[in-house]
Structure 1
Amino acid sequence: MKDYAGADPGFDPDVYRTLLESTLAIPWRIDWATMTFAYIGPQIEPLLGWPRGSWKTIDDWASRIHEEDRQRVVDFCVSQSMAGVDHEADYRALTRDNGYVWIRDVVHVVRDETGKVESLVGFMFDITERKKTEQDLLDMQKRLETLSFEDGLTGASNRRMFDNRLETEWKSACRKGTPLSAILIDLDHFKQFNDRYGHIAGDECLIRVAGALKQAGRRPRDVVARFGGEEFVILLPETDAASALHLAECCRDAIDDLQIPHEGSQCSTLVTASIGVGTTQPAVRTGARDFLAAVDRLLYAAKQQGRNRIVAATV
C-alpha cells in the first residue's frame, strides 16, 4: 500500500510511514469509489487480532463492529460521508478472540477539485479504558442516586422518595381516572421495645419488618417506604379498596410471622402493628397531602381501638 492516508507528495513517504506507525492511534484510508482500504496501520493487528491484510473492504470493517452497534454506526458514517461531512463515532470493535474493544473512529472526508468525495482518511483510537471509567462513574452516580432515595437503616425507600412518588402517582391517577391506595403501618408500643431490648435490637427489628413488608408489596410500582421512626407506608397505584385491604392483611401476617418477642407490649407478646388503609379516587381539586392525612386518621383509629388491628376506608 503506497498511499499513506493522504500524505503530501513532497513529503518523504518513509518518514511519513514511520510517524503513522509509531503512534498508538491506528491510521487508515478508504477509497470511496471502490469502498476498499488503501491503507490501515499495523497497530490494528495487536489491538484486535485481525491480520492487517484482512482489512480489504468496508464490509470487513462493518462485520467487525459489535452487532448492537453495527447498524447505528454504519448508517451514521455512510450518511455523513456521502454528505461530505467530517465525523466521529464510538463503537465496540470485535476482536478475533470474540471479545471487543471500544473504538473512537475520527473520519475526514477528502474531496477532489470538483467537490466529489474521493476518499476517507482517519484514525481509530482505543478508548476502552475511558469507556470503563465513564461506566464506573455512571454506576457510582446511579448508586448515589439510589442512596439518596433509600432509608439508610432498613433499605426501604425513604420519605423523600415516597413524597416524590406520591405526587407523581396522584397526577397519573387524576389523568387516568384510576384509584390510589396507601397503607400506613405503625409498630405497636415500640418505645417500650427499645426500652426493654435496647436500640440495637430495635434497629434489627425495623430491618426485619422492612424486609417483610417489601416481600408483601412486590409489584413494580408499589413503594414501600420508612415514613419515620417505627412507621412505614406503602403506596399502591391503581389499587382498589378490596385489594389494598388484602395487602394490608398480608403485611400484618408477615409481621406476625417474624415472631419477634415483645414482652413490653400491652397488646401481644410479639411485635405487632396498627394499620390504616385508605383508598381514594384522586381529583385535581383535591390534594395528595389531604389523602395522606386521611389515611393517618385511619391509623390513629386503629390505635384508639386497641392496636394490633387494621382500619380501612374509602376516603
Structure 2
Amino acid sequence: MSDDAAPLSVDTAVYKTLLESTQAIPWRIDLQTMRFSYIGPQIERLLGWSPCSWVTVDDWVERMHSEDRERVVSFCIEQSRNGIDHEADYRALKTDGSYVWIRDVVHVLRNEAGEAEALVGFMFDISERKKSEEKLMRLQRELEELSYQDGLTGVANRRLLDSVLESEWASAKRAGQALSFIMLDIDCFKLYNDYYGHLAGDDCLRRVAHIVSTSAARPRDLLARFGGEEFALVLPETDLEAACQVAERCRAALCDAAIPHRASDVSHLVTVSMGVATATPAEGGIPASLIEQADRRLYQAKQSGRDRIVGE
C-alpha cells in the first residue's frame, strides 16, 4: 500500500457481520445493570434459546448445569470484581433438556477512569474436546488399573500390595489399630505344573485367587499375588485372632472347591499353607517387618507338613 492510500473505514455493521459469522458466540454484559446488551444469534443454533431470551445474568446462571453452577458463578464473580480477564468451562442447558460443554472467555472493559464497566466475551462449543478429554482420562485410568493388576490372576500385583500396605500401616498408626497380613502358598505347586502342565497351573492360580478373594470379602481387604504361587492378604483393623479366622475360612473354601492334585505330597486335592502376622503400628516398626513375620510363619507351616495355618 502506498503512503498516500486512503485508510480503511470499517463501520459497526461490518464488525457485527464478522462477529456473527464465526462459530464463537460473542456477548456483552453491562456491569451496572448486570444485563446483556448483546449476544450473538449463534446462541440459538447452539442451545436453542433465542437471543432476546438472554436478558440478565440470571438467565446465564439458570441455564447452567446445577453441578457446575456454584463453582463457575463464584469464580466469575470474583474475577470480574477484581477486573481480571478469565475463562470458565461449564455445561449449558439446551431447550431440549440436554447439555453442551461451553468455554466462556471473558474480558473486562474499563472506562476512561479505569473503572470496570462491562464484560465482553465469547462462548465456544467445546463438547467434542471434552469427549476426547474424557476418553483420554478413561484410558489413563484403565492403564493405571492394569499397572496395578496381576496379568494372570486379575488380583492386585506386588506394586499395589506395597502401596496399600504402606497406606494401611499409616492409617493404623494414626488410629492405634491392629493391622494383619497373611502369606499364602499353594502346596507342591511345582509338582502340579509338572503333572498337569503349565496351562492347567495358570488356571489353578486363577481359581485359588478367586476363591481366596471371595472368602476375604470386606471392602478394604486386599488380595495380591506376591509372586509365583504365593499370595498375600492385607487385613486392616484386624487382630491376630480375627486374621486367623479369615485364613481358616480361605483354607476351608479351597477344601470345598476340591481342585484335584494327584501329584501332591500332602493331599489328592490342592491345599495351601499360610502364615499370619499382626502388628500395631503405633507401637513402632515398619511394614516390611509385618511381611517378614508372616513369611517366617508361612515357612513354619510348610516345614510342619503343609496344609496348615501358623499364626504365632
> Aligned residue for 2:100?
101
Any residues of structure 2 matched to 1:133-152 within 5 Å, and which? 133-152=132-151
> Aligned residue for 1:195?
194
Structure 1 residue runs of 4+, over 4 Å off? none
TM-score by length of structure 1 reads 0.92
> Aligned residue for 1:24?
23
Worse-matched range after superposition: 143-152 or 211-220: 211-220
State how far apart, in whole Å, the 2-side matches of 1:122 and 1:282 are.
Answer: 57
State how far apart, in whole Å, the 2-side matches of 1:83 and 1:290 are.
Answer: 56
For residue 283 of structure 1, report the CA deviation from its aligned partner. Answer: 5.1
For residue 133 of structure 1, report the CA deviation from its aligned partner. Answer: 1.5
For residue 239 of structure 1, report the CA deviation from its aligned partner. Answer: 0.9
> Aligned residue for 1:289?
288
Aligned residue type for 2:107: H
State how far apart, in whole Å, the 2-side matches of 1:84 and 1:289 are.
Answer: 55
Deviations 1:265-310 (A, max 9, x none): 1222221111111112235753322221121111111112221111
State how far apart, in whole Å, the 1-side matches of 2:85 and 2:281 are.
Answer: 54
Any residues of structure 2 matched to 1:242-281 within 5 Å, and which? 242-281=241-280
State how far apart, in whole Å, the 2-side matches of 1:71 and 1:281 are.
Answer: 44
Deviations 1:141-191 (A, max 9, x none): 222221111111111111111122222323333333221111111111111
> Aligned residue for 2:4?
none
Aligned residue type for 2:177: T
TM-score by length of structure 2 reads 0.92
Does residue 116 of the first structure (1) align with residue 150 of the second (2)? no
> Aligned residue for 1:312?
311
Find the residue that maps to 1:306 and give its secondary structure.
Answer: coil
Aligned residue type for 1:39: Y
State how far apart, in whole Å, the 2-side matches of 1:254 and 1:13 are.
Answer: 81
Aligned residue type for 1:184: M
Q: How many equivalent pairs are there?
A: 304
State how far apart, in whole Å, the 1-side matches of 2:251 and 2:194 are.
Answer: 23
> Aligned residue for 1:132?
131
Find the residue that maps to 1:194 and give its secondary structure.
Answer: helix
Find the residue that maps to 1:97 and give its secondary structure.
Answer: coil
Aligned residue type for 1:38: S
Find the residue that maps to 1:255 and give its secondary structure.
Answer: helix
After superposition, the CA RMSD in angstroms is 1.6
Aligned residue type for 2:54: W
State how far apart, in whole Å, the 1-side matches of 2:74 and 2:279 are.
Answer: 51
> Aligned residue for 2:91?
92
State how far apart, in whole Å, the 2-side matches of 1:288 and 1:70 are.
Answer: 45
For residue 110 of structure 1, report the CA deviation from its aligned partner. Answer: 1.0
Return closer, same or farther for 1:285/1:70 CA change in 2, 3 Å cut-off: closer
Aligned residue type for 1:112: N
Gaps of at least 5 residues in structure 1 are 1-9
> Aligned residue for 1:219?
218
State how far apart, in whole Å, the 1-side matches of 2:169 and 2:70 are.
Answer: 41
> Aligned residue for 2:64?
65
State how far apart, in whole Å, the 1-side matches of 2:297 and 2:23 are.
Answer: 70
